[in-house]
Amino acid sequence: MTDIVSYEPATGAELWRHPISDIDAELAEARDGWPAWAAKPLTFRIEAMRRFANVVRQRADAFADLIARETGKPLWEAKTEVDSVIAKVDISVSANTERTAQRRLDSPMGSRMALRHKPHGVLAVLGPYNFPAHLPNGHIVPALLAGNAVVFKPSEKTPATGAFLVECFHAAGVPEACVRLIVGGPDEGRALAAHADIDGLLFTGSARTGIALNRAFAEKPEKILALEMGGNNPILVWDTPDLHAAAVLIVQSAFTSAGQRCTAARRLIVDQTLAEPLTAELLKLMNRIIVGAPHDDPQPFMGPVIDNESADQLTESFLALLMKGGQPIKHLERPVADKPFLSPSLIDVTNVRDRPDVELFGPVLQMSRVETFEAAIAEANDTRYGLSASLVTQTPRLYDQFWANIRAGIVNWNKPTNGASSAAPFGGIGWSGNHRPSAYYAADYCAYPVVSNEAEAARASIGIGLRDG
C-alpha cells in the first residue's frame, strides 16, 4: 500500500506519512454511525461542537505550528487560521438557528404547518491546501450541527493538518464514526466523489476540479453539491489621493498568503493618470516585503508557495506573459533554487491582448491601465470567474456605479479583496462556484427543508363533484 507523504515547503523535510485509506471501509463506518448522531437533539450536537472549539483552543500552539510547517505560511498567519477554526463554531450555531430553524407557518382551519430541516446523511468534504484547517472546517462544523456524518479528504499536500483536525473532533466526543478521515491523492478524491454511499459533496478548490465535479454530478440530482472555487479577482484604483493607502490595500490583496487565497487580487486595474505614481508607491512597499520560512525572526510577510511544482508553474506563467508583450515592473524571482520561495511580482499587461483567463495561484499581480471608469469595470468583468472585487476610491458615486455593475459575490470598497468574514455568506458566480455560498450560508446546503401540514385528528370532506348518495 502506497503512503501519502507530506513535506515542509520551506525546508523540504518530511513531515508526516500515512497509508492510503480504504474508502469503502471509511464510508461504511460513517453510514453506520450517522443515524444515531442525527437522532440526537440539536442541543447535544451544539455542545459537542463547543467542546471541539475548546479542544482546538487547548491545542492551539501545536495546531498553528503544524499548519505553518505544512503549508509554509508564517506562524502569525497560521495562528489566525486556528482562531478562525475556533470562531467557526459560534458562527455556525447562529447560522443554524437563523437559516434552518424550526418554524410554525400560518395554516387554515385549526391545522398547523411546520417547517423543519433534515440532514442529508453522509457528506464528503474535499479540502484545499491553502487553508487546510479553516476551509474544510467551514463545511464540517455546519454539516455536523445539521446531523450529517462527514467523510473528509484533505489535500494530499496538507494531510497532517487534516488528520489533526479530525483528532480534535474525536477528542471532543464527536463519535469517531461520524467524522472519518480519507488519506489519499487525486485518485482517492475522484473515487470518494463518485461513491454511491455519499449523499453529497462539499468542495473547496480549483475551478478545473470543480467543473469536473459539476459534470460528474449532472446525472445525480439526488446528491447535494456545493462548489467553492477560485477567482481571477480585480482591484480597481480610481480617484483617490492617498496612494500609499491604496498600495497597502493592493499588497494585502495580492500577496497575503503568498497570493494563495481564492480571494487574492490577480488583476490591478488603474486610471492611467495614476499608474505611474501608484506604481512607485507599490514598489516601495513590495521591496520591503520579507519572504521567509514560517518561524523566521523577524516574522515574514509571506512564506513559500506550497511546493516546487507550483513555483515552477507560476514562473512559467510569468514568462508567458512576458512573451506576449507584458512589461515587467517587478520580476518574479526565486531566491532559493530548490525551494518554492517566490518574491512578489508585478507585470503591466495593458498591451497583452490574449491574456489567459486563469487563476495564477501565487504572488503574481497583473496591472492594466485604462482611460475611463466604464472601461475599468469592463476590464474587471472580463473574466469567467466572479468571486471577489474591490474598488479603492474616495468618490461614493463611483462605488455605487461599481457595485451595480461588477459581477462578483464579494464587492468591497476601500478594503482588500480578501479577508472575508465567516459571519457573512462567502461565494461567487461564474467559475467561482455553483450558487451555493459557504461560510454563514453553509447551513443552507447541509440540510434540506421539510414542510409538514399537520392536524391531530383527521377531518375531511368533499363539497363538490360527487353524485348524491
Q: Is the pLDDT of residue 109 over 70?
A: no
Average pLDDT over residues 113-128: 97
pLDDT at 308: 98
Kindly state whether residues 91 and 224 are assigned to the same domain.
yes
pLDDT at 458: 85
Tell how far CA 355 is from the center of its chain: 25
C-alpha cell read off for 460: 375531511
106 falls in which pLDDT band (50, 70, 90)? confident
- Residue type, position 76, single letter: W
The CATH number linked to 110 is: 3.40.605.10
Rounded percentage of the chain residues whose pLDDT exceeds 70? 99
DSSP character string of 306-326? S-HHHHHHHHHHHHHHHHTT-
Q: Is the pLDDT of residue 297 over 80?
A: yes
| Candidate list 168, 262, 281, 359, residue with the active-site label | 262
Averaged confidence pLDDT in the chain: 96
Surface-to-core class of residue 239, CB atoms within 10 Å of its CB (0-12 exposed, 13-18 middle, 19+ buried): middle
Taking the C-alpha atoms of residue 422 and residue 10, their distance in angstroms, rounded to an integer, is: 29
Kindly state whether residues 358 and 303 are assigned to the same domain.
yes
C-alpha cell read off for 55: 479542544
Kindly state whether residues 190 and 210 are assigned to the same domain.
yes
Kindly state whether residues 54 and 172 are assigned to the same domain.
yes
The CATH number linked to 347 is: 3.40.309.10
Instruction: Give CA separation, 168 vs 49, 60, 75, 165, 430, in Å.
Output: 10, 11, 20, 5, 35
172 within some domain = yes
Phi, psi of 440 (to 5 degrees): -65, -30
425 within some domain = no
178 part of the active site: no
468 within some domain = no
pLDDT at 232: 98
At 264-287, the pLDDT tens digits run 999 999 999 999 999 999 999 999
Are 451 and 114 in contact by the 8 Å Cβ rule? The answer is: yes
pLDDT at 380: 98
| Candidate list 8, 228, 281, 359, residue with the active-site label | 228
Tell how far CA 460 is from the center of its chain: 51
Phi, psi of 139 (to 5 degrees): -90, -40
DSSP 3-state of 233: strand
DSSP 3-state of 224: strand
Taking the C-alpha atoms of residue 116 and residue 436, their distance in angstroms, rounded to an integer, is: 20
Give kind and range of the element (H or E) at residue 193: helix 186-194
464 within some domain = no
Kindly state whether residues 89 and 136 are assigned to the same domain.
yes
Taking the C-alpha atoms of residue 272 and residue 278, their distance in angstroms, rounded to an integer, is: 10
Q: Is the pLDDT of residue 110 over 70?
A: no
Average pLDDT over residues 343-360: 96
C-alpha cell read off for 157: 499536500
- Residue type, position 226, single letter: A
Q: Specify which residues 226 forms β-bridges with.
A: 202
Average pLDDT over residues 40-52: 98
456 falls in which pLDDT band (50, 70, 90)? confident
- Count of domains observed in the chain: 2
Taking the C-alpha atoms of residue 47 and residue 173, their distance in angstroms, rounded to an integer, is: 10
Kindly state whether residues 102 and 242 are assigned to the same domain.
no
At 236-266, the pLDDT tens digits run 999 999 999 999 999 999 999 999 999 999 9
159: containing domain? 3-229+433-454
Taking the C-alpha atoms of residue 429 and residue 12, their distance in angstroms, rounded to an integer, is: 37
Out of 413, 446, 462, pick the residue that ends a domain. Answer: 413
Q: What pTM did the predictor assign?
A: 0.96
Phi, psi of 236 (to 5 degrees): -105, 140
The DSSP secondary-structure symbol of 205 reads S
Are 30 and 148 in contact by the 8 Å Cβ rule? The answer is: no
Kindly state whether residues 137 and 48 are assigned to the same domain.
yes
pLDDT at 143: 98
Rounded percentage of the chain residues whose pLDDT exceeds 90? 94
Q: Smallest Cα–Cα separation from 122: which of 156, 149, 144, 145? A: 149
- Residue type, position 61, single letter: D
151 within some domain = yes
Average pLDDT over residues 134-152: 98
376 within some domain = yes
306 within some domain = yes
Taking the C-alpha atoms of residue 221 and residue 214, their distance in angstroms, rounded to an integer, is: 11
Average pLDDT over residues 369-375: 98
Kindly state whether residues 189 and 273 are assigned to the same domain.
no
Q: Smallest Cα–Cα separation from 247: which of 227, 223, 275? A: 275
At 215-229, the pLDDT tens digits run 999 999 999 999 999
Kindly state whether residues 246 and 107 are assigned to the same domain.
no
Give kind and range of the element (H or E) at residue 119: strand 112-119
Vertex 158 angle, CA 152 and 164, to 5° = 60
pLDDT at 22: 97
- Sign of the Cα torsion 64, 70, 75, 79 reads negative
Kindly state whether residues 278 and 332 are assigned to the same domain.
yes
- Residue type, position 179, single letter: V
DSSP character string of 338-395? TS-----EEEE-TT-TT-------SSEEEEEEESSHHHHHHHHT-SS--SEEEEE-S-
Kindly state whether residues 38 and 132 are assigned to the same domain.
yes
At 167-218, the pLDDT tens digits run 999 999 999 999 999 999 999 999 999 999 999 999 999 999 999 999 999 9
Taking the C-alpha atoms of residue 150 and residue 165, their distance in angstroms, rounded to an integer, is: 13
pLDDT at 455: 83
462 within some domain = no
Instruction: Give CA separation, 388 vs 135, 267, 417, 425, 431, in Å.
Output: 17, 11, 6, 12, 12
Q: CB within 8 A of 126, min separation 6: which ones? A: 136, 153, 189, 192, 193, 201, 202, 203, 204, 205
Q: Is the pLDDT of residue 1 over 70?
A: no
Average pLDDT over residues 337-348: 97
Kindly state whether residues 62 and 45 are assigned to the same domain.
yes
pLDDT at 465: 94
